[in-house]
Amino acid sequence: DAKTTQPNSMESNEEEPVHLPCNHSTISGTDYIHWYRQLPSQGPEYVIHGLTSNVNNRMASLAIAEDRKSSTLILHRATLRDAAVYYCIRYTGTASKLTFGTGTRLQVTL
Amino acid sequence: GAVVSQHPSRVICKSGTSVKIECRSLDFQATTMFWYRQFPKQSLMLMATSNEGSKATYEQGVEKDKFLINHASLTLSTLTVTSAHPEDSSFYICSARAGTGEGQPQHFGDGTRLSIL
């Protein structure tokens, strides 16, 4: 049970921002929110993670709701290389296991 | 940084063959590595957690005698699929966690596509 809910698919135009939502309404206080993406025929790639505060790195931004029941992965300018399946995962540090759900398949078009 | 190398990338072999897959953390030490399996059009399923110097922890339904895991050093874990059969054909992916702090991300290899004829 991945315990997160994401839309099955989303589309974006190239060079436009993309907001990928994730619902994790039953998250506990110690669960981190991790995002990974998987390109076709490759292993997943770590994107970003956070606990309570919004986070930025070179790949993306993570906006976490104040109640932590949802979060949004933001790709500031989508490119064709960003087309992938994006997984939002609750990560309990002590259990250390990632449970992958079905993710969101992002299509990027010209 | 945080590169995980997996080898081989693809294996095609006859039924009954045992296949070994290697997972190496190239630029960091990994006390914990993970093995996943992914069938076509499905998500990743965790098979087992590999801890350096101790026995692996297998997920429910995964046969430990079928999928042998060895984590003999801080940079290498191996998965051996013993007496492989066509139903074992899948995409096998390893990951490694750098550090033991809470919330540390996992870094994944590029996977091994196993095809059993």
Average pLDDT, chain B: 93
Count interface pairs A-B at CB distance under 8 A. 61
How much is the mean pLDDT over chain A? 92
Half-sphere exposure for B27 (CA within 13 Å, toward CB): 4
The residue of chain A with its CA nearest to that of B31 is A96
Q: What is the pLDDT of residues B43-64, one digit of tens each?
A: 999 999 988 888 899 999 999 9
Residues A75 and A18 sit within 8 Å (Cβ to Cβ) = yes
Nearest to B108 among A44, A93, A103 (CB): A44
Under 8 Å between Cβ of A29 and A47: no
Q: Flag whether residue A51 sits within 8 Å of chain B, measured between CB atoms.
A: yes
DSSP assignment, residue B105?
Answer: P
Question: Quick one: pLDDT at residue A95?
Answer: 59
The rounded percent of chain A whose pLDDT value lies above 90 is 81
What's residue A92's pLDDT? 73
pLDDT band at A93 (very low <50, low <70, confident <90, very high): low
The alpha carbon of residue B34 is apart from the nearest alpha carbon of chain A, in Å, by 9
Nearest to A12 by CA among A59, A103, A56, A76: A76
* Phi, psi for residue A82 in degrees, rounded to 5: -85, -5
A58-79 residue pLDDT tens: 999 999 999 999 999 999 999 9
At residue B52, the pLDDT reads 84
Percent of chain B with pLDDT over 90: 76
- CB nearest to A43's CB, from B46, B103, B109: B109
Among residues B111, B108, B25, the alpha carbon closest in space to that of B73 is found at B25
Q: What is the pLDDT of residue A98?
A: 87
Partners of residue B57 on adjacent β-strands: B49
Is a pLDDT exceeding 80 seen at residue B65? yes
Rounded percentage of chain B residues whose pLDDT exceeds 70: 97
Any chain B CB within 8 A of the CB of A9? no
> What pLDDT does B104 receive?
83
Lowest-confidence region among A59-63, B16-20, B45-49, B99-103:
B99-103
Q: Is the pLDDT of residue B28 over 70?
A: yes
What's residue A91's pLDDT? 85
* Cβ contact, residue pair A34, B105, below 8 Å: yes
| Residues 88-107 of chain A whose Cβ lies under 8 A from any Cβ of chain B | 91, 93-94, 96-103
On whether the CB atoms of residues A82 and A75 are closer than 8 A, the answer is yes
pLDDT recorded at residue B31: 83
Q: Rounded to a whole number, what is the distance in Å from the CA of A52 to chain B's nearest CA?
A: 12
pLDDT surpasses 80 at B1: no
Residue B4 has pLDDT above 70, yes or no: yes
pLDDT of residue B95: 95
Chain A residues in contact with B104 by the CB 8 A cut-off are 93
Region A6-30 average pLDDT: 94
Chain B's closest residue to A34, CA to CA, is B105
